[in-house]
Amino acid sequence: MTTTVLAAGNHFIRPSLFSAAVRKAAGDTPLEIRELQFGWPHTPFGPVAEVIEASGTEDEMIEALQGVEICVTEHGPLTERILAHCPDLRLFCTSRGGPVNANLAAATRHGVAVCHAPGRNATATAEHTLTLLLAAARGVGDTHTDLRRGVWRGDYYDYDNCGIEIDGATVGLIGFGAIGSRVARVLHAMGAHVLVHDPYVRPEALAGIAEQVSLDDLLTRSRIVSLHARVTPETTGMIGRDQLAAMPRGAVLVNCARGALLDYDAVCDALESGQLAGAGFDVFPEEPIPAGSRLLTAPRAVLTPHIAGGSQQVAHKAAEIVAGDVGRYLRGEPLRHQANK
């Protein structure tokens, strides 16, 4: 019996990548794979009905899912209305780190298992964090901008304008999950003294790499601070004016996690006053950054447009992770990354 699969990709994880990964994971199982192309990232994702981050429309998905048992996608929505009109669907795999484009409660009521792809971009995000951290610590943003404008400034060699080295510096990481732990290992190898604040980390995971401390201790001791926490009611706005003031003058701040962790107005004040000597940000409170935002003119800030998790390897990893659960489903095995058990 042939199983029908919808591979709903976009310009990052192409439908052909999903199709190839699913065929490999399925082995000898006969498949009919239909492909659907969404517009992201050329067109922004956003809310679709009740799900918060999705690309495409309910009508597109309803049409494409007729007679489909398995769907693999990155941003395709799964809503109450879609589920009501697609009775053959039994497995919905989203290649996001979390199933933000799926209504889990509705999927459970309709008997549809939802799987996701945790850890898909941990390496890419860790590497991008290190890129921004090094760039911010050495003032790469402003020097690059000056040179592009034809300005050669010798005063960047003034003591007060020089950047800092990682070797021998104390670096604080707020969060020690899949991304933070990778960053910590690289910083440790570069000679940094790494501090970690994470109430959920096991002490043995830090052995020989980092020192576990309170948030207050981390802020007052760290010349460089990088955020790697999840957004929860407790962590929303966790770094504001008081926390920035507690850091050593001339510190560096990096955020490749989530914009909601940080008070960016307070950051701009700290950059303008010299309390922060540099900053590197890949995430923001509003995306795209609105015209007129202070972040666009803040001194010594290195900005990238929420691309830390984007690499060619991530596209392949994400497709392979969700395809793995497709293979388990077809073989009648327990699903590894099911979100609505």
Which CATH number applies to 3-120+311-331: 2.130.10.10, 1.10.357.10, 3.40.50.2300, 3.40.50.720? 3.40.50.720
What percent of the chain shows pLDDT beyond 70? 100
pLDDT tens digits, 179-188: 999 999 999 9
Catalytic residue among 32, 287, 331, 336: 287
Q: Do domains 3-120+311-331 and 122-303 have the same CATH topology?
A: yes
The active-site residue, picked from 306, 320, 328, 337, is 306
pLDDT digits (tens, 9 = 90+) for 252-293: 999 999 999 999 999 999 999 999 999 999 999 999 999 999
Could you tell me the two tokens for 328? 């388990």
Is 14 an annotated catalytic residue?
no
CATH classification code of 122-303: 3.40.50.720
What pLDDT score does 279 carry? 98
Rounded CA gap, 315 and 338, in Å? 20
> In whole numbers, what is the pLDDT of the chain averaged over residues?
97
pLDDT digits (tens, 9 = 90+) for 95-148: 999 999 999 999 999 999 999 999 999 999 999 999 999 999 999 999 999 999
287 is known as an active-site residue = yes
User: Which of the following is catalytic: 110, 120, 128, 258?
Assistant: 258
**pLDDT, tens digit (0-9, with 9 covering 90-100), for 63-72:** 999 999 999 9
For 297-327, b where at least 16 C-beta lie within 10 A, e where not — what string?
ebebbbbbebebbbbeebbebbbbbbbbbbb
Which pLDDT does position 93 carry in this prediction?
98
CA distance 93 to 78: 10
316 is catalytic: no
Predicted local distance difference test score (pLDDT) of residue 42:
92
Q: Which two tokens stand for residue 141?
A: 């943003």
Q: What is the pLDDT of residue 252?
A: 98
Cβ proximity of 76 and 40 under 8 Å: no
Please give the Cα distance from 341 to 336 (Å, whole number): 10
* Share of residues in the chain with pLDDT > 90 (%): 99
Residue 341 has a pLDDT of 84
Q: For the segment 14-29, what is each residue's pLDDT rounded down to a tens digit?
A: 999 999 999 999 999 9
Domain coordinates in residue numbering, the chain: 3-120+311-331, 122-303
Q: Read off the pTM.
A: 0.92
pLDDT tens digits for range 146-171: 999 999 999 999 998 899 999 999 99
- Per-residue pLDDT, 140: 95
Sheet (strand 31-37) strand order: 31-37, 3-9, 70-73, 91-94, 113-115
